[in-house]
Amino acid sequence: MTPEGSTPVRVSIRLRLTLWNTSVLALLLIAFAISGLITLRRVLEERGDATVRESARAIAGAVIAERRAAHARGDTARVARFAARDVLRELRIGDLDVIIVDDAARVVAANRVPTRRRAGERAPARVAPVAPVDPDTLSLPQPVREWLRLAPGSGDVLLRTLTMDDQTFRAALVRVNPGTANSAEPALIVGVLRSDEEDVAVLSRVRTTLLFTIPFALVLTVLAGYALARRSLAPMDEMAASAARISAATLNERLPVVNPHDELGRLAMVVNDLLRRVDDAFRTQKQFVADASHELRTPIAIVRGEADVTLQRATRDESEYREALAVISDESVRLTRIVDDLFLLARADAASPLDRHEQIDVAELIAASMRSVRTIADDRQLTLRSPRDEGAAAVLVEGDPLLLRRLLLNLLDNALKHTPAGGQIAVALEPSATHAIIVVRDSGPGIPLVLRPRIFDRFVRQSIEDQDARHVAVSGTSRVPTASGAGLGLAIAQAIAHAHGGHILLDDTAVGAAFRVMLPRVASHRAHHDSTTSSSGAASTIVVDSSKL
C-alpha cells in the first residue's frame, strides 16, 4: 500500500541504486571539472601576469645596464639611439611582444607588432626602427597605441588587458628614467604584451579531455554499478523465491542466509525468526484446536449417548428421565465452562480481556475467594489459612474484579484438586513497593519436574484422573465456579495476570506447590487518597459477590 496521493515506483531497486550513484558521481565530476577549469584558468592568468611583469622589469633593468655600460665606454651618442634596440637584440624574448617608446609615445625599439595570428601561422617579422618613429606611421593597433600613451609611475608596473579581434593580451608597462637630471638620455617606457593563445589552447585541450572522459567514466559507472547492485541484491531474489515457496504447510522452511553480517543477512535472519514464531504459533493453534475438539467431543458424546439411550425405548419412568437429564445437565455445565474458558483465552490472545477498571483491595479479594472455596475444603478435610494484618495499610491494584477473582479461584481449585485429605492450603499477601504479591501454597505432592516448564500451557494436566476432578461448591443458592478440568485453569490465570500487567511464577519448593502472583500496585498517592476516602466513610474496597459469577 502506497501513501495517499503518491505514485508507486515501477523501477527496480538495482536500477534505482545505479541511477542514483551515477547521478551523484555525475554531479561530483561536473563540479570537479568546473572548479578545475576555473582554477586552471586563474593559475594561467596569474602566470601570464607574472611573466609580463617580470619580463618588463628585466628589460627595463637591461636597458639601464646597457646605458651604464655605454657611459663607462664613453659612447654617449649610442646610449640615446641604440641602447634599447641592443637590449631587444640580445635578450631572448620568446613569445612576448616588446615595444619601447619615449615620453612622446614614439617607438624607440620593438621586436614585433602585436597582431592576431591563426593557429600554425608564424609570428610577423621583427620591427627594428633605425630612428624614433611616430606611432602613427607604424602599423600598431589602436588599443596598443592608446595603451602606450599611459604613463606609469617610476618603479611601478602597470598591468592591463588588451583585446584585439577577440584575442586577449596581457600587457605591462614599466618606466625607465634617465641616469641623471642633466643627461640627454630620454625617459623610456617598456611595454610587454603576452597573447593568451597558449592559455586558451591549454584550456581547450583540458576541456575537450573532460568532455570525453566524464561521459566515458559515467558509462563505466553505470555498467559497474548495475553489475555490483545486481550481485549484491542477488540474495534478495533468492530470499523472495524462497519466501514465495513457503506456505502454511511448509512453515518449517527458512530463507537462505548468505552473509549473516550484512544487511540482507540480518534481514534474512529476522524473517527466519519471524517464520519460526509463526510456525510455533501455527503449531500451538493446531494443538489448541485439536485439544479443544477433544475436550468438547467427550461431553457432547455423553449428552448424545444419554439422549439416544433414553429415546431407544418408547416409554420410561420418571426416575430414568430425571437421571438422564441430570447427566445431560452436568455435561452441559461442563461444556459451558469449557466454552467460557476458550472464549476468555481468545479474548486474552486478542489483548482485550478487561471489561472493567476498578481499584481493588487485594486483601478483601483474597478473603472473598477463600470464603467461596471453604465448603469444598471442608468436604475434603483441608485446612485453609489466610493470615491478615488488620492494622496494615490497604494494598490496591487496578483491574477487573471478576477476572482477578477468577484468577485466585483457579489457583485455589488447582490446590484443592492436588492436596490430599488432611493437608492445608495457605494464601498470603506479601506486598512490595511496586507490586502486590499473592502466594498460594499447598501441601500436596507438588508438580513433576517434567511438567513445570509447561505448567501454564493450555490443556496440560498432571494426570488423566484430573480430567474428571471437578469441584462445585454451593453456598446458599449460588454456585462457585472452579476450573473446567480441561487443563485450562492455570493458562487462564496466567492470561488474566498478563492482562493486568503482571505474571504468575511457580516457586521452587521442597513440599507441595507455590504459585506467586505479581500484580502492579496503584500509585502511592492514589493509595493514600483511597485510604483517606475509606476512613471518611466512602467505599474504597470492592467485595465480590460469588453469586454474580
pTM (two decimals): 0.49
Let me know if 477 is exposed, middle or buried by CB neighbors in 10 A (0-12, 13-18, 19+). Answer: exposed
| CATH top class, domain 14-115+124-204 | alpha beta
447 compared with 34, residue with greater pLDDT: 34
Asked whether 151 and 136 are in contact (CB, 8 A), the reply is no
Q: What is the pLDDT of residue 77?
A: 56
Residue 538: pLDDT band with limits 50, 70, 90: very low
Let me know if 459 is exposed, middle or buried by CB neighbors in 10 A (0-12, 13-18, 19+). Answer: middle
Q: Is residue 420 scored above 80 in pLDDT? A: yes
Q: Is residue 85 scored above 80 in pLDDT? A: no
Q: And the C-alpha cell for 401?
A: 474484579
Q: And the C-alpha cell for 521?
A: 500496585
pLDDT tens for 246-268 read 877 777 888 888 788 888 888 88
79 compared with 316, residue with greater pLDDT: 316
Domain at 354-548: CATH code? 3.30.565.10
Q: Is residue 412 scored above 60 in pLDDT? A: yes
Closest of 54, 341, 10 to residue 170, by C-alpha: 54
400 compared with 125, residue with greater pLDDT: 400
Q: Percent of the chain, pLDDT > 90?
A: 10
Q: Is residue 2 scored above 60 in pLDDT? A: no
Average pLDDT on 101-120 reads: 68
Q: What is the pLDDT of residue 391?
A: 58
pLDDT tens for 370-387 read 888 888 888 888 888 887
pLDDT tens for 210-222 read 999 989 998 998 8
Boundaries of every domain in the chain: 14-115+124-204, 234-352, 354-548
- Tell me the C-alpha distance between 240 and 83, whole Å: 91
- Tell me the C-alpha distance between 311 and 376, whole Å: 36
How far from the centroid of its chain's Cα atoms is residue 467's Cα? 52
Average pLDDT over the chain reads 76
Asked whether 385 and 423 are in contact (CB, 8 A), the reply is no
Fold for the domain defined by 234-352:
Helix Hairpins (1.10.287)
Identify the H or E element spanning 411: helix 401-418
CB < 8 Å & 24+ apart, contacts of 209-214: 210/33, 210/36, 210/37, 214/26, 214/29, 214/30, 214/33
